[in-house]
Chains A and B, each alone.
Chain A
């Protein structure tokens, strides 16, 4: 089944403790991205990657890192999480870019930073 898989689905942690949210897709997509979703603010793009070893900032990249060493994986790294990063996070992928490409989303990761 074609899908985008995120792990973990839920995480409660404390300020400053490094964490990684994994994202994997099995559709051989070149484009992958991360979003956070907050009430009243909607989905906002954090980082995106056009292909392996190619990443770029989205609209809200501060406090986050990403890497794209393999085509199928695009982990999101919070090196020193803070409470304002408490949010619902989504990973997405598409064949090529975003303009005319449907995005396939994972089911989300709910992060709580205490």
Chain B
């Protein structure tokens, strides 16, 4: 079955640096990948969506890339701030587009 894998180890970076998070998937390439942010005790919040025919998508300090050859999506936060500290989840649709499968998320901590 299709799996989504994210680095389970927390990522600690210094304020102002670029954070890069990885999402890998197995088997077939999803038509879309979504990225969410989750803060402790809160529901995930949608950030960005990228289609398989898009190599890159940007929104303010966020950038998502999609490499169907590597079966990988990278999520970048430039000029990171302590307020960016959260868990970031990637997700893809399967089953004819009716079911959403999430990765386990990567915790990002931005330090002063």
A contacts, CB < 8 Å to B: 4, 33, 35, 40-45, 48, 50, 56, 58-59, 90, 92, 97-100, 102-108
Given A106-B43, A107-B43, check contact A99 B31 (CB 8 Å).
yes
Shortest 3 CB-CB contacts between residues of A and residues of B:
A105-B43, A42-B104, A102-B46
Q: Please report which residues of chain B, range 15-35, place their CB below 8 angstroms from some CB of chain A when the two chains form the complex.
A: 31-32, 34
Judging by beta carbons under 8 Å apart, are A41 and B104 in contact? Answer: yes
B contacts, CB < 8 Å to A: 8, 31-32, 34, 36, 41-46, 49, 51, 89, 91, 93, 97-105
B105 to chain A, nearest CB (A): 6
**Complex CA–CA separation, A43 to B36 (angstroms):** 12
20 A-B pairs (CB sep. < 8 Å): A4-B43, A33-B100, A41-B104, A42-B89, A45-B101, A48-B99, A50-B98, A56-B98, A59-B99, A90-B43, A97-B93, A98-B97, A100-B49, A102-B34, A102-B49, A103-B34, A106-B43, A107-B42, A107-B43, A108-B41
